[in-house]
Amino acid sequence: MTAPNPFLDEDQRLALYGDARRLTQRTTVLGAAKVSGTPVAEVLASFLTDTPDHVLDVGCGRGGTTVHLVKAWLPGQLTALDASTALLDDAAARVADRAPELSPRVRFVAADFHDIPLPDDSVDVIVAAFCLYHSTDPGEVLAECRRCLRRNGRVILVTKSADSYAALDALVADANLDPGAVHRPSLYESFHSGNAEAVTASALRVDEVTHHHHRFRFSDPTHTARYLITNPKYELPEQSPHVIAEQLNSVLNGNGVSAQSTVTYVVASKT
């Protein structure tokens, strides 16, 4: 039997985001590996030229994007929504630390994005970055976004290609750490660069789709191992990065590994 996609399985998702540790390590290790690709916050900021009254950041996680949005757009209010109270606490601390003068405008809400606790026609701009692939039915979330949006309001969605970091699947298989990795479906299978436009069009008018190529270089076996243990796709025999690095070394011989991901932005509106 095929194991459920950990990004779509409710119990595994709760464990993944039950506290901030895994996401913090993943973000730090990926950041250190980044070679090229325009920062997501920079691209997001460029989509808006006017000042919105009310912004909703769906699946805000640790608030990395939230801080940039509130600083770049200066909205009258920003609602940051996530299912994980632990991550919301982290996000609140981040906003208070990095944008103290703007933090009174930001409200943190614990909720499921399939059932957004906001009135109809109450939001100007909704951002959902790297989170709709946690829904088995992202079209349902987009219909909910549509309900919350004012007329002519916009949604900005960010996701990754289904083949993101595929070079690492081949590596863990070659190193005999997880031979099944190359056959398992993408973590991003429900909402990725290849289907995001069509899924969005089921609920909203799609105005713009752009793809950005991001390249990564994990510098050596230890750096690679530190990333692999944060990726729930892999069924690793153990979680110590040093032991995993040793096994990777049989293939890498002290070298690093390159990987790539396409980041896709879909801008859509409520007509």
Ligand X SMILES: C[S@@+](CC[C@H](N)C(=O)[O-])C[C@H]1O[C@@H](n2cnc3c(N)ncnc32)[C@H](O)[C@@H]1O
What does the binding site for ligand X look like in residue numbers (CB under 6 A)? 13, 17, 59-61, 64-65, 82-84, 87, 112-113, 129-131, 134
52 CB-near residues (< 8 Å, 6+ apart): 73, 75, 76, 124, 125
Nearest approach in angstroms of CB 79 to ligand X is 12
Residue number with the smallest Cβ distance to ligand X: 61
Nearer to ligand X, 82 or 124 (CB): 82
As a whole number of angstroms, the longest Cα–Cα distance in the chain is 58
Closer CB to ligand X, 87 or 149, in the complex: 87
Residue 219: both structure tokens together: 């510098």
Query: What is the smallest separation between the CB atom of 212 and ligand X, expressed in angstroms?
Result: 14
Q: How far apart are CA 262 and CA 152, in angstroms?
A: 28
User: 41 or 243, CB closer to ligand X?
Assistant: 41
CB of 271 to ligand X, least distance (A): 26
Question: Toward ligand X, which CB reaches closer, 158 or 248?
Answer: 158
Q: How far is the CB of 221 from ligand X (least distance, A)?
A: 25
Nearer to ligand X, 228 or 263 (CB): 263
CB of 75 to ligand X, least distance (A): 16
